[in-house]
Amino acid sequence: MSVSLENYVKIKGELTKAGALLVAVSKKKSVEDILALYKLGQRDFGENYVQELVEKQPQLPADIRWHFIGHLQRNKVKYIAPICSLIQGVDSVALLDEINKQAIRLNKVIDCLLQVHIAREETKFGFDQAELATILPSMTDRKNVSVLGLMGMASFTENESVVRSEFQQLKSLALQYATYFTPSEGPVLSMGMSGDYQIALEEGSTLVRIGSLLFGARQ
């Protein structure tokens, strides 16, 4: 078993104090490792790959809340729509429309986060501010999609001021467009991973995605 129970207890305590949700990123991890955290009370798990999620989900307890956090192709939405609690990386209008289409087919409302491009790397996905200003007012046309807030990934850098600035930018956008998001208590702000989650919490993150600190580095 590659789960760090000590790290889990430490991180869970930090997040509870900050009022943030922990999503344990379980991609490439075994059913046994996921169950180890489940037995400690963890219920929110994040997967990046559609096939892996579809294979794991039936083998694990039904009350796990699955988050899809990877880049999602439109032709794969139909496979995860029945089982995901939250689709975090929505990065195009076409993807939004496909999620809405599949939600109508299933007679349900699917919760989503819009991914915003805040990092310096061009390889990161996401909407820019101008696109958000156009998309969010049009969400009333997609009645089977509920946008809870925003998700973003900071630049991969050791310069903490850059990371902090990018998280501040995402928080500012979440507040600017808060009236368009579903939760009455305020928008969900998904930012922060193993290397920068403490900065993210300081800047107002309500959800962090942590993998390597809990499960060890990817093989």
Structural domain contains residue 138: yes
Per-residue pLDDT reduced to its tens digit, 74-129: 999 999 999 999 999 899 999 999 999 999 999 999 999 999 998 887 666 799 98
Helix (H) or strand (E) holding 205: none
Per-residue pLDDT reduced to its tens digit, 152-164: 999 989 999 999 9
Structural domain contains residue 217: no
Q: Are strands 207-210 and 84-90 parallel, antiparallel or unpaired?
A: unpaired
Domain count, the chain: 1
Nearest alpha carbon to residue 125 among 91, 85, 87, 176: 91
- The residues, any chain, with a CB within 8 Å of residue 32's CB and separated by 6 or more, are 1
What is the band of 219 on the pLDDT scale with cuts at 50, 70, 90?
very low
Per-residue pLDDT reduced to its tens digit, 23-73: 999 999 999 999 999 999 999 999 999 999 999 999 999 999 999 999 999
Torsion of the alpha carbons at 102, 96, 187 and 212, rounded to the nearest 10: 90
The residue range of the domain holding 105 is: 5-211
Structural domain contains residue 218: no
Provide the whole-model pTM: 0.94
Torsion of the alpha carbons at 48, 52, 86 and 22, rounded to the nearest 10: -70
**CB neighbours of residue 62 within 10 Å:** 7
3-state helix, strand, coil in the chain (%, to 5): 45, 20, 35
Q: 162 near 119, Cβ under 8 Å?
A: no
CATH code, 69 = 3.20.20.10
